[in-house]
């Protein structure tokens, strides 16, 4: 007997998020790596720990399933891969591999052991123990070195790529148990050859660390990263944000309308030397042309305040090590929070 449409359920093709071949689960092979555990899930991305014999241990960031059909989201993800592939420096997270041609675009970074600066600052506040000023200077100087390398990055034709991070914040500065500092997450970065165009006036990055020209929609260049780094350094030294406000409107007014000088670190925390406070003040000048000419110049101003490098590195490592979580089975857990932020 011939069946009618009422007798036979309609065969609806599976959505992208339902397709088994696009689902990632522990044990799945991705370019030679075996997925171990999902570390992070957001509306924009998934991040997985992965390992393989003979290959470096990595974290793999993939575009979230719901965004796979979204051409704009794919273009932004491809931009992140392209920008990350141009970068190579000891103070930048190292891109190991990637694939943007397959059904699920992904990129793999080296797996780092440590914590984001956010975790260390939270511990300092909770324990009422300020971060030593020379350690603060070391963190900022190291980040400045990495950002200088990003700003100087060139494309395959040897032309300046015009990379600007646009989201320098405590979440995106990673501190390793070796006392090293890595700048993470170029997901919001801009470059001359971006496929996805940023809408004029659209804010990218964390408001509390954004430069005035970012929040007003003006032209943004590498000097915007200086302001953000200065805001991070001020918070490290003083223990409170550069600008405190009761709401977003008040914050924006203080940042972009108020003509009063921004607070100095040595005024808020007398333990800060005038030389270090001068460097912070120049980083956070409201007018871009009054900041340092380059991040390298900023690093050179900060490094004399950072103490002897090997000793400061050891001290930072000692601060970070107890903050790395230990799993119940006594294996150390690996962190890579900012580099795995949503695409």
Residues labelled catalytic: 167
Report the distance separating Cα 143 and Cα 176, nearest Å.
13
CA distances from 188 to 63, 254, 296, 318 (A): 15, 24, 22, 31
Report the distance separating Cα 41 and Cα 261, nearest Å.
41
Tokens of 139: 């963190």
Report the distance separating Cα 211 and Cα 208, nearest Å.
9
Please name every residue paired with 61 in a beta bridge, in sequence order, or none if there are none.
47, 107
The Cβ of residue 257 has, within 10 Å, a number of other Cβ atoms equal to 9
CB 110 within 8 A of CB 97: no
DSSP letter assigned to residue 256: I
Per-residue b or e along 59-84, where b marks 16 or more CB atoms closer than 10 Å to that residue's CB? bbbbbbbebbeeeebbebbbbbbbbb
Report the distance separating Cα 106 and Cα 235, nearest Å.
34
Residue with tokens 């960031």: 61
In order, the DSSP letters of 60-121 are EEEE-GGGTT-HHHHHHHHHHHHHHHT---TTBPPEEEEESSSSS-EEEEE---EEEHHHHH
- DSSP reduced 3-state for 79: helix
């Amino acid at each position: 007997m011939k069946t009618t449409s009422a007798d036979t359920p309609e065969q609806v093709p599976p959505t992208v998020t339902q397709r088994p071949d696009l689902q990632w689960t522990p044990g799945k092979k991705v370019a030679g790596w075996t997925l171990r555990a999902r570390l992070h899930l957001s509306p924009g991305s998934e991040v997985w720990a992965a390992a393989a014999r003979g290959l470096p241990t990595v974290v793999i960031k993939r575009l979230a399933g719901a965004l796979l059909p979204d051409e704009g989201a794919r273009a932004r993800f491809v931009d992140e891969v392209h920008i990350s592939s141009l970068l190579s420096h000891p103070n930048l997270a190292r891109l190991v591999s990637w694939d943007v041609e397959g059904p699920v675009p992904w990129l793999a970074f080296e797996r780092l052991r440590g914590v984001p600066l956010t975790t260390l600052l939270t511990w300092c506040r909770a324990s009422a123990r300020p971060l030593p000023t020379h350690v603060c200077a070391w963190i900022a100087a190291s980040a400045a070195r990495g950002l200088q390398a990003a700003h100087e990055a060139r494309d395959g034709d040897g032309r300046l790529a015009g990379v600007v991070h646009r989201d320098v914040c405590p979440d995106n500065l990673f501190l390793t148990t070796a006392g090293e500092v890595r700048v993470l997450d170029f997901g919001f970065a801009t470059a001359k050859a971006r496929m996805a165009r940023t809408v004029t006036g659209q804010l990218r990055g964390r408001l509390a660390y954004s430069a005035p020209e970012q929040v007003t929609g003006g032209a943004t260049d590498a000097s915007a990263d200086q302001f953000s780094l200065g805001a991070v350094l001020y918070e490290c030294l003083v223990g409170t944000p550069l600008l405190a406000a009761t709401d977003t409107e008040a914050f924006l007014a203080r940042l972009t309308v108020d003509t009063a000088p921004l607070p100095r670190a040595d005024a808020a925390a007398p333990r800060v030397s005038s030389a270090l406070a001068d460097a912070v003040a120049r980083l956070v000048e409201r007018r871009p042309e009054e900041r340092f000419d380059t991040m390298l110049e900023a690093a050179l101003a900060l490094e004399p305040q950072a103490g002897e490098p090997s000793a400061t590195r050891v001290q930072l490592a000692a601060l970070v090590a107890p903050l790395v979580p230990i799993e119940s089975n006594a294996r150390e857990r690996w962190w890579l929070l900012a580099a795995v932020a949503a695409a």
